[in-house]
Amino acid sequence: MAARQQPRGTGLEVQYKDFVPKSDWKDQPEAILFTIDLPGFTKEQIKVMYVHASTMIRVTGERPLAGRKWSRFNKVFNVPQNCLANKIHGSFNNNTLTITMPKETITKMPNLPETSKTMADKVEKLEEKRLLEESTRKAKEAEAEKKKKLLEEKEGILRKLQEEAKAKEMAEAKKLQEEAIAKEKAEARRVQEAAIAKEKAEARRLQEEAKAKEMAEARRLQEEVVAKEKAEARRLQEEAKAKEMDEARRLQAEAIAKEKAEARRLQEEAKAKEMAEARRLQEAAMSNEKLLEEAALEKKIQDKKSMDEFVRKEKMKEKLSDSVLEENKTGKGIMEKIRGREITSEEKKLMMNVGVSAFVIFALGAYVSYRPE
């Protein structure tokens, strides 16, 4: 029964899981049976091998599982001494491997017939022959064991000589090695001391260079820090100055704005007052115009009433103009006439209208001159 072999050189790593099958011995009159339960295995996956030197039977097998996993087993057992090795055979049915090992002797039965006696004689002769062969085999085995012991003794002597020679070689080699190691150590010590001295000198030089570099770097950094501090102080001073100027400019602008607002307020108040005064004068002028209209109407009524009154008035005007001229000549003015209440009502109305008109013109001129741009 050949077991299936896993192909090699494929580069795939196979994992084996060891399987321990159940086994059982059955002793029968003519043979001894050894059964092994192998569920899941086939006949082609099982291998049975008889080892003559040790009179043992080895049963092995392996089968694939899921993926790259395989199940395998290895069963070894000794063949009983009373069994015929050349007649051992096996069978595989219903997942069970049965190995049959026939026995060498057959138990004699009493009252055997003649044919059975003849068979018993044959069996006895075969047994004698087997015993002879067994004694011959044992003698050969004893001789082979003796030769083996002699060979082992020779091998022991040779091994002892080899060990002694090897010990001498090792002692000599050890001596040479120790001398070489001593020389190497001395040379290594000298080289190490020279290297240490060189390293110390180099370290001293590097330390001095590093110290000089550090001092130069510290000086440079200090100068940079001082320059930065000066620049920062200058920048802060300029920023403070700029802020002060901005604040002064802002305060000045606010003061100007307040002054302008105050001037605008005062101007608007003056304008409002002027407008109110002009409105009042305009209303007074309008009332005067109504009075003039009423006077004109009254004049028309008076003209209609009497033509003589008109003539009288004309004469009075002429007299008034003559008297004005005379008063100019004599140094008297119209104001004395007014104080003396020598002016007529019509002349009073005329003078009032002229004064109101002059005041209105003056107020309009003042409004135009004070009007904001």
Q: If you count them, how many residues does the chain have?
A: 373
**98, part of any domain:** yes
Average pLDDT over residues 105-120: 50
Q: pLDDT tens, 243-256?
A: 989 998 999 889 88
Determine the Cα–Cα distance for residues 127 and 129; give it in Å rounded to an integer: 5
pLDDT at 269 over 70: yes
Q: Would you give the distance in Å from CA 153 to the centre of its chain?
A: 77
39 — pLDDT class (breaks 50, 70, 90): very high
Considering the domain boundaries, does residue 156 fall inside one? no
Q: Choose from 94-98, 137-141, 144-148, 304-308 the range with maximum mean pLDDT.
A: 94-98
Domain count, the chain: 1
Is residue 109 situated within a structural domain?
A: no
With respect to residue 77, please indicate whether it lies within any of the assigned structural domains: yes
Upper half-sphere CA count for residue 145 (Cβ side, 13 Å): 6
- What is the pLDDT, as a whole number, of residue 1? 43
* Burial (CB count within 10 angstroms: exposed 0-12, middle 13-18, buried 19+), residue 97: buried
Residue 91 lies in a domain: yes
Q: Which residue has the tokens 């007074």?
A: 284
Top mean-pLDDT range of 119-133, 197-211, 321-335: 197-211
Question: Across residues 30-52, what is the average pLDDT?
Answer: 92
CATH code of the domain covering residue 36? 2.60.40.790
Cβ count near 14 (within 10 Å): 14
Cβ partners under 8 Å of residue 37, min gap 6: 21, 22, 23, 95, 96
The answer to whether residue 138 sits within a structural domain is no
pLDDT at 91 over 90: yes
Which of 295, 347, 300 has the alpha carbon at shortest distance from 321? 347
pLDDT confidence tier of residue 154, bands split at 50, 70 and 90: confident
Going by pLDDT thresholds of 50, 70 and 90, the confidence category of residue 52 is confident
Taking residues 64-80, what's their average pLDDT? 91
Per-residue model confidence as pLDDT tens digits over 325-347: 665 555 445 555 556 655 667 76
**Least confident interval from 68-82, 102-116, 156-170, 213-227:** 102-116
Kindly state whether residue 37 falls inside one of the protein's structural domains: yes
Lowest mean pLDDT among 58-62, 125-129, 275-279, 297-301: 125-129
Gap between the Cα atoms of 166 and 164, Å rounded: 5
Question: In the predicted model, is pLDDT for residue 10 greater than 60?
Answer: no
pLDDT of 354 > 50? The answer is yes
Q: Is the pLDDT of residue 223 over 90?
A: yes
Mean pLDDT of the chain: 80
Taking residue 369's Cβ as centre, other Cβ atoms within 10 Å add up to 7
Per-residue confidence band for 321, with pLDDT thresholds at 50, 70 and 90? low
Confirm whether 39 is domain-assigned: yes
Least confident stretch, 133-137, 145-149, 162-166, 315-319? 315-319
Is residue 103 within 8 Å of residue 84, measured between CB atoms? yes
Q: Which residues span the domain enclosing 43?
A: 19-102
